[in-house]
Structure 1
Amino acid sequence: MRLVLFDLDNTLLSGDSDFEWAQFLIERGVLDREVYEARNQAFYDQYKAGTLDIHEFLDFQLKPLSRHTRTQLDSWHGQFMREKILPIINQKARDLVDRSLREADLVAIITATNSFVTMPIARAFGVEHLIATEPEQNGGEFTGKVDGTPCFREGKITRLEAWLKQRGVDWGGVKESWFYSDSLNDLPLLERVSNPVAVDPDPTLKAHAENSGWPIISLRN
């Protein structure tokens, strides 16, 4: 089996969907700018520095989902896709995904960002399989909590192995595997696959990739 995995934010996207979703809600007055904007930036800076407390961040990111109906959230997300996401999808990223879908046996996007934000983005790339942090739901509405293991750092490996097991696939049965990512936070999974690829990497990942002889590519136009 040939497995191809893609990180999403700052890899396939020329930006961060988690950060942009919070900014979108702030710009529309759904979230208070004074309260949320500085915290959103602080969490983003911590993520880039590799110091993010994922549970503290998820409390910040998922709580707003619980304050609005799913119908309202879906309506906002359609506008979010048009205004914030489609402009940061480059043709190089689309071409790479399309080629992988033709050549690989299994292709998935694997991301720390929650599935409410990212599922429509995966569909925009034509990718059926998404492994993401799952927001807890009750009766189709979000509770503001996380369901299961966050898909972050080592959690990506945990979630990936569980996802493969659901499909009757053992990691040992994966003949070749690729993972494309920009972030130092993805080093655990990058070191697990047979073909790690650094994509427009942050300085820490770039240095690690250079020292390890990993390919470094850019998907920016």
Structure 2
Amino acid sequence: MPEEPLPPSDRPILALFDVDNTLMRGTSLFQLGREAWKRRIIRARDIALFGWHQVRFIMVGENDEHLASSKERALGLLGGHSEAQILELADSIWEHRIRPRLYPDTVKLAQDHIARGHQVWLVSATPLVIGERMAQKLGLTGALGSQFESKDGVFTGRIIGHILHHERKAEAVRELAEREGADLAESWAYSDSRNDIPLLELVGHPTVVNPDVALMKHAHDHHWPIMRLRPSSIREARRRLRREARDAKKVTE
């Protein structure tokens, strides 16, 4: 007999954070490339291409061509290397490449959600091993990311399923919400990219962060909050979280 659904007041609430240009400046995949080049896993030509994608991403945002090329590079990086090597690489990337590039105020906002008992998940196209290490280091609930096949402890270079991008992110979050019994109507999502509109539309509290042009227009059309990574905008986002959390509590009392 199927389990009865939890009453709304008892169901988990998710806070979903994109990583690239939302939680950190630039792309986590580029930082993977830099560290791999430093360790001579890839060649100078590869890191030059990573650099081009990084500059383009910062200036004009995500696009399908960028994601396709990044996917190929990520697959090439992981193929033939042991899980232990990639985990060591992930630790080094976190310490030397990602941690210094975090937006401190977005991190504080994620931790505000944790303090309110919400589950905070990173949702990114970056390899899952990188996302999980970030979530662990930041004290968050977990991560959803692109998964890569390994056999006998060695990555094959093949992806499991699809790169976690666009509608794939939304599908992964639907599956997560079902597993956790979460209330998406009371959940939150934060992203900078038009490609995450399907994800943002899933939740009751979407917030766009330093949005690209297309997402900015969509946010204005749908009256979504827009957060700029400057003190006044961050303070307003944190106040909004406190205010709406209080309102939700009153409804359930």
- TM (norm. structure 2) is 0.76
Query: Which of 202, 210, 214 is the matching residue for 2:212?
Result: 202
- Partner of 2:20: helix, strand, or coil? helix
Asked if the contact 1:59–1:144 (Cα under 8 Å) also holds between the matched residues in 2, the reply is: no
Query: Which of 119, 123, 128 is the matching residue for 2:141?
Result: 128
Offset at residue 49 of structure 1 (A): 4.6
What CA RMSD, in Å, does the superposition of the two structures yield over aligned residues? 2.4
Offset at residue 4 of structure 1 (A): 1.3
Could you say if the C-alpha distance between residues 49 and 116 of structure 1 is closer, same or farther in structure 2, counting changes exceeding 3 Å?
A: closer
Greater relative contact order (Cα 8 A, min sep 6): structure 1 or 2? 1
2:227 corresponds in structure 1 to: 217
2:73 corresponds in structure 1 to: 60
Which amino acid is 1:165 matched to?
Answer: E
Deviation per CA, 1:86-142: give whole Å up to 9, x if none: 101232122101110122443211111111222111112211221111111223321
**CA distance in 1: counterparts of 2:43 and 2:73, whole angstroms:** 13
Offset at residue 12 of structure 1 (A): 1.0
Which amino acid is 1:192 matched to?
Answer: L
**Following superposition of structure 1 onto structure 2, how do residues 101-112 of structure 1 map, counting pairs within 5 Å?**
101-112=114-125
Report the structure number with the largest CA radius of gyration: 2
1:86 aligned onto 2:99: yes
1:33 corresponds in structure 2 to: 44
**CA distance in 2: counterparts of 1:136 and 1:95, whole angstroms:** 34
Q: Which runs of 5+ in 2 are unaligned?
A: 1-10, 232-253
How many residue pairs match? The answer is 217
- Partner of 1:131: helix, strand, or coil? strand
- TM (norm. structure 1) is 0.86
Q: Which runs of 5+ in 1 are unaligned?
A: none
Which amino acid is 1:146 matched to?
Answer: I
**CA distance in 1: counterparts of 2:15 and 2:147, whole angstroms:** 21
Deviation per CA, 1:171-214: give whole Å up to 9, x if none: xx434121100111111111222211011222222232223221
**Following superposition of structure 1 onto structure 2, how do residues 88-167 of structure 1 map, counting pairs within 5 Å?**
88-167=101-180
**CA distance in 2: counterparts of 1:123 and 1:180, whole angstroms:** 19
Percent of aligned pairs sharing the same letter = 27
Higher mean displacement: 74-83 or 88-97: 74-83
